[in-house]
């Protein structure tokens, strides 16, 4: 497998075009004092776009991205971009970090360093990992996809091939959102390679008839889920059925793209009513600008369509027997209980976190790093010490 070193280097003309499009935004109306009730708050989006055009420094973000070794390769006809950070500590174990929608690899910018070089971040060398962070096909620098069929199973197969090419026979996988779905598929399709998975997001079918009455906690979670399903899943219906219609607006309008994405970050983070208390404008725009510059908002949305078309929407019919470690953040989208989760996953550890939402690596990086370290510290896996330089990017 050939790996090509990759550097983010966006032509200035593209950044100038972005600013001119922001300046030409034709703004919609909004009912006064309606906040986020109808969707993205116009006051917040206006402020965000003003900063995007006149304050946000993409070149700084670019430099931060390029601080990590990045590569591209082609697997199954699709370009795959990935970050590969080898730990300075001997015996570091391989860990794959998988993002979802509407994230990119920027979601993990705060955890790559502590996980790969724990000693420099107050930890211990025995907790060191070699880190691989792929962009999902169709997302960011791995996109867009050019043919149908890129569902989570196919993505899992591509990533298994990538990791084999990097010389990793066994590895851990962490995932949230679609990253958790792909992690589950990796465990199901390549169980001989995936030693354990660590998840912040679970796909379960809910309580079964044979489970009997709901526990008080399950009853509360089911009520919360009913509200979420009724008020927060319009995006899913659109992206799973007509993503192409949506793509025109997302690809042509910076305001449209920003509003579509930032509304989810506002709804899905544990922010107490103040999004910027957990994510700065720079962090939000690093993610949004990646979609804009790579023109992948449409192909990223298309993952939902491909998942539905592939019959993979919802829990797998097979139980994941790979040891599974779960960090439960209180504002995660789909909450369940351990007894229900164990129908679908071989749960070895279930840790309730004190705060955090759907984007744990961005919102609460310290909590996530600590949970990954604690969960995987004693899992039996041979430490990777003899992989040759020629086999690794």
**φ, ψ (nearest 5 deg) of residue 207:** -70, 135
Gap between the Cα atoms of 75 and 229, Å rounded: 36
Annotated active-site residue in 130, 177, 270, 371: 177
Q: Is 358 a catalytic residue?
A: yes
CB half-sphere exposure, 2, CA atoms < 13 A: 3
Residues 6+ apart with CB under 8 A from 298: 144, 243, 244, 246, 247, 250, 251
| Distance of alpha carbon 152 from alpha carbon 157, whole angstroms | 9
The residues that bridge with 96 in the sheet, in sequence order, are: 132, 173
371 is catalytic: no
Catalytic residue among 99, 198, 358, 371: 358
Considering the candidates 291, 304, 305, 345, report the single residue annotated as catalytic: 304
Contact of 98 with 285, CB cutoff 8 Å: no
Q: Work out whether the CA dihedral 24, 31, 357, 195 comes out positive or negative.
A: negative
DSSP secondary structure code for residue 215 in this structure: P
For residue 251, give the nearest of 307, 179, 305, 300 by alpha carbon: 300
Give catalytic status of residue 177 as yes or no. Answer: yes
Residues 249, 256: contact at Cβ < 8 Å?
A: yes
Distances (CA, A) of 168 to 330, 383, 387: 34, 10, 8
Known catalytic residues are 177, 304, 358
């Amino acid at each position: 497998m050939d790996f090509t070193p990759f550097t983010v280097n966006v032509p200035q003309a593209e950044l100038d075009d972005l600013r001119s499009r922001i300046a030409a935004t034709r703004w919609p109306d909004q009912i006064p004092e309606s906040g986020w009730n109808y969707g993205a708050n116009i006051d917040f989006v206006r402020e965000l776009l003003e900063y995007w055009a006149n304050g946000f420094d993409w070149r700084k973000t670019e430099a931060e991205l390029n601080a990590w070794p990045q590569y591209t390769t082609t697997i199954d006809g699709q370009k795959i971009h990935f970050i590969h950070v080898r730990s300075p500590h001997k015996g570091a174990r391989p860990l794959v970090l998988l993002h979802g929608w509407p994230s990119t690899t920027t979601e993990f910018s705060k955890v790559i360093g502590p996980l790969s070089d724990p000693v420099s971040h107050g930890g211990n060398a025995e907790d060191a990992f070699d880190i691989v962070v792929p962009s999902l096909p169709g997302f960011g620098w791995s996109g867009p996809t050019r043919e149908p069929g890129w569902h989570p199973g196919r993505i899992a197969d591509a990533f298994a091939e990538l990791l084999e090419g990097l010389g990793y026979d066994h590895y851990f996988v962490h995932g949230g959102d679609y990253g958790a779905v792909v992690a589950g598929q990796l465990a199901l399709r390549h169980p001989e390679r995936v030693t354990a998975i660590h998840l912040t997001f679970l796909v379960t079918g809910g309580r079964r008839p044979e489970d009997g009455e709901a526990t008080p906690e399950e009853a509360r979670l089911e009520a919360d889920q009913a509200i979420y399903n009724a008020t927060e899943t319009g995006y899913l219906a659109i992206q799973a059925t007509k993503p192409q219609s949506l793509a025109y607006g997302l690809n042509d309008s910076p305001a449209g793209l920003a509003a579509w994405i930032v509304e989810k970050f506002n709804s899905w983070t544990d922010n107490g009513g103040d999004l910027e208390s957990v994510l700065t404008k720079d962090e939000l725009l690093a993610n949004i600008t990646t979609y804009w510059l790579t023109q992948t908002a449409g192909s990223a949305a298309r993952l939902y369509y491909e998942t539905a078309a592939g019959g993979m929407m919802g829990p797998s019919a097979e139980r994941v027997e790979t040891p599974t470690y779960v960090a439960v953040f209180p504002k995660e989208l789909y909450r369940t209980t351990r007894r229900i989760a164990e129908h679908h996953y071989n749960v070895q550890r279930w840790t309730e976190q004190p705060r955090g939402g759907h984007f744990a690596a961005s919102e609460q990086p310290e909590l996530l790093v600590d949970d990954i370290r604690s969960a995987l510290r004693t899992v039996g896996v041979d430490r990777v010490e003899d992989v040759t330089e020629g086999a690794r990017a």
